[in-house]
Copies of this chain bind each other. A is one copy, B any other.
Amino acid sequence: MDTTLRDGAQGEGISLSVEDKLRITAKLDALGVAYVEGGWPGSNPKDVEYFERVQKLPLKHAKVTAFSSTRRPGVTVEEDANIQTLVHAGTKVATIFGKTWDLHVFQALETTLEENLAMIRDTVSYLKKQGLEVIYDAEHFFDGYKSNPPYALETVRAAASAGADWVTLCDTNGGLLPDELSEILGKVKESLDVPLGIHVHNDGDLAVANTLTAVKNGAVMVQGTINGFGERCGNANLCSVIPNLEYKMGFTCLPPGGLALLTEVSHYISELANVTHFSQQPFVGMSAFAHKGGIHVSAVSKNPVTYEHMDPALVGNKRRVLVSELAGLSNLKYKAKELNIDIQFESPESRKIIRQIKELEHMGFQYEGAEASLELLLKKAFGQHQDYFKLESFKILMEKREDDGILSEAMIKLKVGKETVHTAAEGNGPVNALDNALRKALEQFYPEIKAIHLSDYKVRVLDEKDATAATVRVLIETTDQEATWSTVGVSENIIEASWQALSDGITYALYKKYSKEKKAQS
């Protein structure tokens, strides 16, 4: 059960439109997720709209579920606006969370232990009578159990005897250790006969381990989010839980073919949530199968199993070999092979390019985060390169008066084939102005440029001792609908470095598009 759209959306910096939520639902369905928790219709009008529109989505695998709390203390279920909105959401499944922890009953609900049990019973049995499948989330189950074991067990028995189809044990505060979890889970199984779920947060950096422990001990539903989005440190990351369960532990989570979609789904959802994808993320991250140390690279070229715990293709990811100062010739050989460039490493031509790359790296170029620049460099060195535009000149002007902001403008003059284009644009700074002017100049020749945008811009001062006269490295990430690529520029002048990375980023987009078309024609 994925709760990216409900619990995940409570993560800092995450805000999803209804449109985003519908697209994510369809994507999770394609992945093969069994339950998608779409939101809390009682909490905001956006979620009400989502539940209306999601009914028209043709879903193959996923049942959509709406979330709510148990009824409020002292009112009937029929009087409770939250519960009524939930029923009107039109889903076939409802998730209800209720209180386990006596402290929460007293301090958050400000009611009695007995009334809390009645709230659970009334809500679950009412929803069952409406014909819904009911998932009961026992909030703070483990903290509650530690505080008052008999009462904690009473709350989940109340849900089960009222007809809940599932009881999910939650580590809402995320501080649980795996050993505590398996001990408490054992006690629950002794006194409850209903399919169990697990829902944990990652505050102790143990959400994945706790989830796996719960499954090993009998839990049959896992709640989590894509990329571990969620309140504070997030929820259990399904992108880590699923491959561990399927590949390492032999459980089945997704329909056949699902696992190989995981990397794509993970990146897609980060893109829609407007969150930079965490490159170190296990299984699906950009760096998850990236090799940097020379010893690692040389061993991996002989046999990948030497430094990989699994075949990256199983989760739809790719092996990457980073060309860096720590690496040797083997990295470059590997890279050329991957790019389908035939390099005879003993030829004078190859020796020249290797020398050139070493000099560039010595100057501060770093191709490990800028594979598109490396590819362009290699293509150029081996005559497989084409100029899509040529810079004649650019000029940038910045002006500041007293306490006003700075006005930044760029003029640019390019040759595209035989034509000359000369234009100007403003920006939020010199690089942004230059970027805007370059795009403006090229759009009439290459309209596809409209679809690509810069998604990351990093500046690194290489030799800090020289301060503002130091060498600067700029790394730029460019994105279209399908892919993301990185380019690099190095100079003592930040604008020159930015220009190199910017123009490589756009050249690579054009090269990708037109070399594809060429291939399609031939």
Contact = CB atoms under 8 A, between A and B. Distances in A.
Contact of A472 (B17, B69, B429): B429
Contacts of A9: 326
Given A12-B369, A455-B464, A457-B470, A296 B231 contact: yes
Copies of this subunit: 2
Contacts of A455: 464-465, 467
A467 to B, nearest CB: 3
A223 interface: no
A305 interface: yes
B205 A326 contact: no
A17 B464 contact: yes
Nearest to A305: B103
Interface stretch (A25-33, A55-63, A493-501): A493-501
Interface in A371-399: 391-399
Contacts of A278: 278
A423 to B, nearest CB: 15
Contacts of A299: 104, 107-108
A369 B13 contact: yes
Given A209-B209, A429-B468, A103 B17 contact: no
A274 B465 CA distance: 7
Given A107-B306, A289-B232, A470-B457, A282 B202 contact: yes
B469 A233 contact: no
A156 to B, nearest CB: 19
Interface in A383-438: 391-403, 405-406, 408, 427-432, 435
Given A19-B464, A107-B299, A203-B309, A177 B402 contact: no
Contacts of A430: 396, 398, 430, 493-495
4 tightest Cβ-Cβ pairs between the two chains A and B:
A175-B309, A454-B467, A209-B209, A205-B240
Interface of A: 9-13, 15, 17, 19, 43-44, 69, 103-104, 107-108, 172-175, 177-179, 202-206, 208-209, 212-213, 216, 228, 231-234, 237, 240, 244, 248-249, 274-276, 278-283, 285-296, 298-299, 302-303, 305-310, 322, 324-326, 366, 368-369, 391-403, 405-406, 408, 427-432, 435, 453-461, 463-465, 467-470, 472, 476-477, 491-496, 498-499, 502
Given A203-B309, A405-B496, 5 more contacts: A13-B287, A17-B463, A103-B306, A275-B465, A455-B467
22 contacts: A10-B293, A12-B292, A13-B287, A15-B324, A19-B465, A43-B294, A103-B303, A103-B306, A107-B303, A205-B282, A231-B291, A231-B293, A232-B287, A233-B285, A276-B464, A392-B401, A393-B399, A429-B469, A432-B468, A435-B468, A456-B461, A458-B464
